[in-house]
Amino acid sequence: MNTELQNQENDVQRKVLEEILVEEMSGFVAYYDPETKEVEQADSLTVDSLQEEKQIIVFPGSEVLYPYGEAMHDYLISEGIDVPEGRKAKNYVYEQEGGLYGFYDFRREESLRRMNIWLKEHKLNLYAV
């Protein structure tokens, strides 16, 4: 397979993983249906009902993969940021960096990495990047 085609596949696969994580934030749950071999999203009540009806694999959300507090702690360490005593890390980072974009990028990348590990552990070669 040529490099350009492989890069295109990786971009598509990465986008699908990112969509799974974003859907979870918007109140939807992503799951894999082995019968149709498709990734779908639905609200949590529908997914609960589907789990009773048939075998589906529910993807972990970003809060399960990489909890916010853990991600913020790791980000502060990786960036060498010392939050003054009595200050909230989120507010301090926002003030120092003019936003939380760096943190959110950091968390997204680690969440994607952890999703790939989860997929391998569950022997799902769906969208490993």
Kindly give the confidence (pLDDT) of every residue in the chain, 129 residues in length, as a single tens digit, with 9 standing for 90 and above.
Answer: 455 545 444 554 666 677 666 655 567 888 888 888 888 888 888 888 888 888 888 888 888 899 999 999 999 999 999 999 999 999 999 999 999 999 999 999 999 899 888 888 888 776 444
Torsion of CA 51, 56, 59, 64, to 10 degrees: 40
Q: 40 burial class (0-12, 13-18, 19+ CB within 10 angstroms)?
A: middle
Any idea where the domains of the chain sit in the sequence? 3-121
Strand extents, DSSP E, 1-129: 28-33, 38-43, 57-58
Query: Residue 13's pLDDT is what?
Result: 60
Contact between 62 and 111 under an 8 Å Cβ cutoff? The reply is yes
